[in-house]
Every structure is written in C-alpha cells, then in structure tokens.
Structure 1
Amino acid sequence: MPTMVEKLGLKSNPFEHYTAETEPHIAEYAVRPPYLQAIVARALARTPFILFGDRGAGKSATRLTLFNEIWAKKETEVRPLVVNFVDFTAALPSLRKGAVPEDELIGEIAYLVIEQVLSWLASLTDQERAEYTEALNEDEVNLIIALLKAFYLSRPEMDRQRTMSDALRLLNRAWKTKSVLWASQRWDSLSGIVAAVIDAFTKKQAGVEVQAPVEKLLKSLAGTGGATSRTILQKLVDFVKIFPFSGIAILVDKVDETDVTQNSADASSRLVHPILAHVQLLEVENFSWLFFLWTQIKPYFESEKFFVRLDKIPHATIEWDDKFFAEMLDSRIKYFSNGKLRFADLFQPEIDVAEATRSIISISMRSPRELVRVMDTIVVEHDMRNASNPAGGLLTQQSIEEGLDKYVKERISAVYPEKTLGQIYRLQDIVFINKDVQSAFRVNSQSARTKIKNWEDAGLVKRTGTRAPEGDQGGQPPYEYTIVDTRVERLITRRLIKLEEFTGTPTDEPEQADETAS
C-alpha cells in the first residue's frame, strides 16, 4: 500500500526534520517567531536581551534566523559581527567542580570572535581580503597580534581546525552572497586561507618597536578580575571595528543542553550566572549579549542564590498560541503539497481535526520542535500499521492515539534520566503532596522535599496550590504539586510503561527509610 505521503502526493514527509539546523527549506514555510524583530533590533543596536522559553519553543530557530538575517545585510549597511556561543564543552570541568570562572567564559568569547573574523576574511576574494589586511596601521596590527596570541593561537591546532570548520559552514549557510564563491572550495582549503591570514598578521611583527607594544597588550589581557574582562570585551570591539562591523553581538544558546545541565536548572543557571551577574559586562559599548535561555532558569535568577538584575536587562518569554501552531502546520503541508493541501487534509473526514490538533499540541508541550516530532511519529506509525490496508491512507483516531502513545514512550527517556522517571512513576497520581512522596518512598519529610525539589529543577513538576490541613489539629496547609509534563502524565494515566522497565530505580528498596513516615 502507498504511504500517506505518496497517497497525498507530497514532496516528502513534512515532519522528518525536527530542528531548525537540519531543515534545508525551512525559510520557505517557517512562521516567524515572536520577538524576532525585537531581538534583531537589539542586535543591530548592540544592546542586551534575554529570551526565555521552554525546550523546543523556538529559541534556537529564533537565534539562527537572527544570525542569518544580519549576515544577509549588505556590507554598506550598519551591522555587528554576530557570533554564536553554543558549545560549552571547555567550561564543563569547572562547572562540575562548582562554578565557572568569569575569565574562562570571556576567554571563550574572545576565541569565538577572533575565529568568526578569520572565517569572514577567508570568505573574501584575495583582492577584497588584501584591502583589509594591507591597510592596517601599526596600532591595529599590534592589537590583532596580541589577541591572536592571547586567545587563539594558544589553542591546540586540532581544536582550532574543528571549530573553524563548524564556523565556516554556519557562515556559508547564512551569507548567501558568498555561497557561489565558497561552493568551489573545500573547508580544508578555506582553513588554509585562514592559516595564511594569521601568518600574514604575525609576519608584520618584526623588530623590538613592534614586539614591545604587543607584549604590553598581552600583559593587559592576561590579568584577572572583572576589570580585565571588561577590557577584553572593549579590545574585541576595537578589533572587529577594524573591519566593516559596528560592534559585536554574542548569541548565547543551548546552555541547558550539556550532559551536566540538561536536567538541572540549577547547573544551567550556574553556567551563565557569572556573565549576567556582572552588570558592567553587559554595558560595554557596542558589545551586545543576547541570551536564549530555558524558562526553568528564570526563577533562579529571581532568587538570592543566582540573583540577576533582570530589572536592568530587557527580557521576554517566548510563548506560542494555538493560532501559531495551526498556521505552522498548514504552512508545512501547503509547501510539501505545492499549495494543494492543508493540515486538515491528512485526516479521515470523521475526525474532529480541531480536537485532534489540541491533543497533539498538548502532548508536544506547546513546542514547535516537539510538535513536528509528534506528527512524524503519528505518520510513520500509521503507515506501518496500515501497510496492508488499502483504505488506510489518511489518519484515523486510532492512528492518533497509538502515535501519541508511541511518541511518549520513545521520547520521554531522552528528556529525563530513567532514575527520575522511575521515581515519579511510583506516585499514584499526577497531583500530590509531600506526604504522598513519603508514603511512596518510605522516607521522611525532608527527603521527600529533596526529591520534589529535584523534580522541579528538571521541569517535571510545579507547585500548583495548597491543600487544607489534615485532621482536627490544623497546622500549615501542605503544598500541592502537579506533574506538568503532559508526556509523563500520559505515561502514568494510561500506564504505558511498567515500573520495572525503568532501570536504576528498584521498587523494593526504600531510600533513607524512616520509621516515622506514614
């Protein structure tokens, strides 16, 4: 039997790509996210901004769109050097020990800025590049050499080659006017051009009269403390303004996607707090910080533990309404059907498409990325289960329910550790209080609070109210908590997984047993 895609005559499966980075034609059907224009304006003005959002809410899509839009501007237009800061591998050893030093993060920023400028220089023609490199005055040469020595050439060559290839690819995708030129060159050839540019800079350093200023600059960049961090950022701005850039816009994203931070809002907060807590770093002229952060981090910045002056930093939380999701789904189907179909045309006539859409949106946690993933699972499962059914071309209610079950069972273990899932699965309901946790785990009140705090930190549960005190003695009303992840809620209410299927959480072994727990 033909697949649903074949039956409908679609170009391909509209839902096979889950992330903005891997969708080759996303510009043809993407619905522009909220706050995009506001963030583009902030980047062009070189002022800070924080965009909070749930996972999959479109933070990375917004970042990539911003990156592409600014790089697409003509060189005659005022534009900053836009740099992505999305790889925190170098900071993780310090984070595991407790905290990341501010100067470590600033050093990484300096490396990325220098790398981006070198990547841009490699994209130019020989003549264009020479116009910049041969017109440098002595102070500019000294600054470039000092920054190269302090933050770039100090890295192992293998590391530089790896990150340079990534930077070249991203810049090539964003900078459409240079694609024809770059298409004829391999990335290793472009890396060779970068090496030649660096060599040309360093050869300009000849004699004591040039070396002395460079060494003086290096000493000023090698200090410690906040003043030096601010100085480094100012020097980086001076560096990029040697070229046709008005300043720097750093796009900080994927903070919660490392192996240390992915299930901890606490660790995610610790990773970027050194920057956000140092207000002076956010006020460097022509240097803009644009953060794309997990919503779960915001309460930590509002608490004493990782306090951030959010009143001084413009910020917003990205949220999508049902109208957006409907438009998003229709746009995809319209593109993949050459304008012939809409999302509703995927379903059998008897299906209440509005209700089905609401269910799918709910299970996706109102995330554009997860919504695409859910639909892919539904379509693939539908085709598999109806492979021999001539009448099974369009989606049925059974297809929807079975697809949603399949999605939550397969997806949830990639979102939360099995230990955490095993713990939450031992509760009898999606709404609970501390006493329920005590009973389920045979632990005391403090141990129960610790577990609940860990679940909150992972974004799995939220405090949603209070209950009346039990008994005749009155007392403090207990807090009530609710499992807010609809995927976990579906797992529990439909009992889709048996407790023993979760490894690492034995069902017969209490944690910190307490005889007084009831």
Structure 2
Amino acid sequence: MEIKEWLQVWQFDHNPFVIFDADRDPYLQSSMVENTSLRSVLLHIDKPTPYVIFAIRGAGKSSMRIDTERYLNDYRDQVLVIAYTEYNELISEVQRPRSLPLEYASDRSAITRFLKGKKEIPLPRAESRITLDDHLDHILKLGIEELYRTVVNTPREDLLKSNPEIAEKFLLLIALYYATNDLSSKIATLRRLIDLTGYERKLPFFLTKQAKFLAADIYRHLRGVTISLEGMTKAIKEIGVGLFEFHGIPHNTENRFALLRNFMDLVRHFGLAGVYLLVDRVDEPVSIKGDPEKMRELVTPILNDQLFQIDHLGIILFLPYELHDLKKYYRSDRIKTISSINWSPDNMIRLIEKRMNVGRKPGSAPIHLADLFEDEGESKANFIVRQLTPRNAFRLLSIILEEHCQTVIYGVKISTEVYESAVQRYLIEKEGY
C-alpha cells in the first residue's frame, strides 16, 4: 500500500508524522501546544528576566522559542523581541581575513612605500574565536534594526524631536550597526526629521578624508558585523564626526556596554518596558554542526555577568543539554535555570492529535491517535506518548506508518503485528538516531 493512499483514506492533506526543522515547519503555528514549563517564565511581560533553558535533542527547544516569540509579539507595544538564532554571518565575519584600501589609511605615504604599490593593507589577524565583543556587536545590530522598524511602523518619530540626546544616540547606533544598502538615505531622513546638522560643505576634500579615516577605525574594531567602508563614510558625512567623537565608537568591551546601555535607554524612551533576547540554534552553524566543544566556544562569552545585569534586558537561552556544564559560568542567583524541557503524556498526546487533525481535509471529523490501530489502540498510544520528546514520538509514528504500508496490500488500520515490528525497529534505530 502506498503511504499516499493511506493518507487519502484517513483524509490527510499531508503526512502529519514528518519531522520538520522548527524554523521551516509550515504547520508549526497551527499545531503548537503550549508547554507550561516555559510559559511560567513570561508571567510578568513588563519585567524581562534572564533564563537559561536546557533540553535534550528533539525536546522542542526551537518550537518553544518560536512559540515564545509569537507570544511576546502579541505584546510588541510593550516589549522589543530579538531572535538571536543565526550565527553563520557572525562566524564568517570574525574568521575572514580583512584588509583596508589605501585610500582609508591615515598614513598612506609610509604604508605605500612599505607595500610597494599594493592597493590594500592587510589588517592584523585577531583570534578566530567568537568573543563577547563580537556578540555585543551582533546583538546591537539585531537590536537597532528591530527598534528602527518599530519606530518607523508606529507613531514614535516625535519622541526623537523632543529629546536631542536620545536622537543622537539613535542615529549613532543606526550608523554603526544598521546593515542596509540605503543606510545614508535612512540617516539623512532621520537627521532632517530631528533637525540635526551634518557636515558643512565648505571643504569637501578634507571632510571626506576625515570621514574615511573614521570609517576605517570603525571597520578595524567591529568584527561581528558586515561593514561597507563606502556606506559608513557616507553615513559619517551625513551625521558629522563630532557625534562619533562625543559618544565614542566601540574600541573595547566597555565602549560596547555603553552603547548597549544607550540602546536600552532608547527602548525605554520609546515607551517599551524592555527587551527579550531569545538565543537559540547554537548547534546549527555550518562550522559547528552540533559539536559540543564548538558550541561552548560560541555560547560561553554570552554568559557574561555584566551582560545579564543590564536593566530591562531579559536574555533567554535555549541550549542543548550537552552544554549543561555551562551553569558554572553564571550566577544562579541572577539567572534562573530550567534544567530540562519535559513533555507529560497529556501534552504529548495533545500535540500529536492536534497535528494529526490540522493535517486533515477541512470538515473532517476529529480523530484520535488510538483510532489508527486495529486493537488495543489506547495502550499503543500510551507507549508512543511516553517517548520523552516530540521528535522521538513522531519518528516512531513514521516508522509505524512505513511498516504498515510495506506490509499490507490495503489496510486502513494498523495491526498489532505491524506495530510491534515497528517498535523493534525504532528501538534499534534509536541508539544512533
């Protein structure tokens, strides 16, 4: 029997037992079941609290992060939500060799003689490991991009006009961290909105040169984000060097924490209670591929006590259980820990049956997991829902369906013989799955 034929008999539009990556699961939102072990973290939306959540593979970390993000977005008029889930760009930027075009060098004559006609200066290689500075840069990038969208999409621009100091902080962070092709035009629009003077046009050659040197300085010190020297130069010319000199650029960790505090001031000024930073998928980068030691190298810098003391910043980390030993790097009196994500049989059956019924044709009568079996359906369903994680349960269901369709020429319900054979295959496979 073809699997497609069996699905049609049960009026399924698609196979409800297929395992998807959570971020690419087209049915996740419609079949989500709230896990109460996590929702308790969010009882007080307006008081973001740091948490570290550990879970074994397949327990649904990313699904819960997506559910948390969706839940928090219902309160986007109160809090800013940042998903920190993509690290390939960060790792690539940190590890790639960097060079500086000669036109951006502050001492071109000596360098030109040394390089004998070369057009670029290779910059010194820093350590290739991700540092706290790199994470802070990337978090600020994600944060200012999200805040910009919030300000533009809601009537908050007048709040910039009412406080020039806040407006300057906003412009500076956009100039440093907003990675967009039309950065200078965005800055020009905001500058005119808040009536901030940019460069005077009296001596364009010298002003451009000064802007290039400052852009080069920023380029040297920001490894965690992609920077266009040309775009940065244009942005500096729109704002003026004085703003950078007054507020400072990120030469060191303390500079970055000052910028992060400025960012939090902006969030509060725009009427938001705080920021939720959701950290997930640390096992996914191409260069990591689930290696626990490489995951530790990526995550450990984030577990910085100073970062977790930033007021109104609630960092929630969804980490693989293999990193459980990282608890020694943070203070448990400041950061709460959920040591595991547990699925009760009741929650598991709700999840499975909701996914089954979401996958059926419109108007179909609801069905239960036990209905799929010829006999002792409740007993079989009880075994399936006790497989600890959703991934295990759905893997077992996939094997049961495969075994059934390979065994029978035609059959609507699954026999005990097929079920037992599938369970044996599942248990053997589970050791390496």
Tell whether the structures are fold-level matches, with TM greater than 0.5: yes
Alignment partner of 1:248: what SS? Answer: strand
| Residue 394 (str. 1) matches residue 413 (str. 2) | yes
Deviation at 1:206, TM superposition (A): 2.0
Matching residue of 1:116: 146
Partner amino acid for 1:103?
A: D
Q: Distance in 1 between matches of 2:95 and 2:384?
A: 39
Deviation at 1:108, TM superposition (A): 0.2
Where structure 2 has 5 or more consecutive residues not aligned to the other structure, the ranges are 97-126, 201-238
Alignment partner of 2:285: what SS? Answer: coil
Alignment partner of 1:298: what SS? Answer: helix
Alignment partner of 2:413: what SS? Answer: coil
| Residue 106 (str. 1) matches residue 128 (str. 2) | no
Q: Distance in 2 between matches of 1:283 and 1:339?
A: 52
* TM-score, normalised relative to structure 2: 0.71
Alignment partner of 2:82: what SS? Answer: strand
Say which of 228, 238, 249 aligns to 2:276.
249
Matching residue of 1:214: 243
Q: Distance in 2 between matches of 1:74 and 1:239?
A: 15
Do 1:80 and 1:248's aligned partners in 2 also have CA atoms closer than 8 Å? Answer: yes
Say which of 216, 232, 251 aligns to 1:223.
251
Say which of 325, 331, 334 aligns to 1:312.
334
Matches within 5 A, 1:232-243: 232-243=259-270
Deviation at 1:399, TM superposition (A): 3.9
| Residue 328 (str. 1) matches residue 336 (str. 2) | no
Matching residue of 2:379: 354
Partner amino acid for 1:368?
A: P
Deviation at 1:202, TM superposition (A): 4.4
Matching residue of 2:190: 201
Change (3 A) 1:291 1:405: same
Q: Distance in 2 between matches of 1:346 and 1:66?
A: 32
Q: Distance in 2 between matches of 1:88 and 1:340?
A: 41
Matching residue of 1:447: none
Matches within 5 A, 1:149-188: 149-152=175-178, 155=179, 157=181
Say which of 30, 34, 37 aligns to 2:36.
34
Alignment partner of 2:43: what SS? Answer: helix
Deviation at 1:383, TM superposition (A): 3.3
Matches within 5 A, 1:12-161: 12-16=14-18, 18-41=20-43, 44-73=46-75, 75=77, 79-92=78-91, 99-121=129-151, 123=153, 128=155, 131=158, 135=161, 137-152=163-178, 155=179, 157=181
Matches within 5 A, 1:422-501: 486-488=430-432
Say how many residue pairs are matched.
356
Bigger Cα displacement from structure 2, 14-23 vs 285-294: 14-23
Deviation at 1:28, TM superposition (A): 4.3
Change (3 A) 1:197 1:402: farther
Q: Distance in 2 between matches of 1:207 and 1:300?
A: 47
Alignment partner of 1:318: what SS? Answer: coil
Deviation at 1:315, TM superposition (A): 0.7
C-alpha distance after superposition, 1:96-127 (max 9, x if no partner): 96632111100000000011123334545xxx
Deviation at 1:380, TM superposition (A): 4.7
Change (3 A) 1:111 1:4: same
> Greater relative contact order (Cα 8 A, min sep 6): structure 1 or 2?
2
Deviation at 1:129, TM superposition (A): 6.5
Matching residue of 1:467: none
Alignment partner of 2:286: what SS? Answer: coil
Deviation at 1:43, TM superposition (A): 5.3
Partner amino acid for 1:395?
A: I
Q: Distance in 2 between matches of 1:24 and 1:321?
A: 25
Change (3 A) 1:5 1:357: farther
Change (3 A) 1:361 1:231: same
* TM-score, normalised relative to structure 1: 0.60
Change (3 A) 1:213 1:150: same
Q: Distance in 2 between matches of 1:408 and 1:18?
A: 21
Partner amino acid for 1:3?
A: E
Partner amino acid for 1:330?
A: E
Do 1:143 and 1:217's aligned partners in 2 also have CA atoms closer than 8 Å? Answer: no
C-alpha distance after superposition, 1:189-219 (max 9, x if no partner): xxx8x98644412455424697365123452
Alignment partner of 2:431: what SS? Answer: helix
Deviation at 1:358, TM superposition (A): 2.3
Deviation at 1:314, TM superposition (A): 0.6
Q: Distance in 2 between matches of 1:381 and 1:197?
A: 58
Q: Distance in 1 between matches of 2:152 and 2:371?
A: 48
Matching residue of 1:513: none
Deviation at 1:378, TM superposition (A): 3.4
Do 1:82 and 1:250's aligned partners in 2 also have CA atoms closer than 8 Å? Answer: yes
Alignment partner of 1:105: what SS? Answer: helix
Q: Distance in 1 between matches of 2:185 and 2:400?
A: 52
C-alpha distance after superposition, 1:240-294 (max 9, x if no partner): 2343422211100011222343332222122111121x21210111112111111
Alignment partner of 2:70: what SS? Answer: helix
Percentage of matched positions with identical amino acids: 21
Q: Distance in 2 between matches of 1:211 and 1:51?
A: 44
Alignment partner of 1:289: what SS? Answer: strand
Change (3 A) 1:213 1:245: farther
| Residue 376 (str. 1) matches residue 398 (str. 2) | yes
Do 1:18 and 1:369's aligned partners in 2 also have CA atoms closer than 8 Å? Answer: no
Partner amino acid for 2:12?
A: L
Q: Distance in 2 between matches of 1:382 and 1:95?
A: 50
Deviation at 1:55, TM superposition (A): 1.7
Deviation at 1:17, TM superposition (A): 5.4
Do 1:121 and 1:129's aligned partners in 2 also have CA atoms closer than 8 Å? Answer: yes
Change (3 A) 1:381 1:98: farther
Alignment partner of 1:240: what SS? Answer: helix
Do 2:199 and 2:240's aligned partners in 1 also have CA atoms closer than 8 Å? Answer: yes
Q: Distance in 2 between matches of 1:12 and 1:207?
A: 58
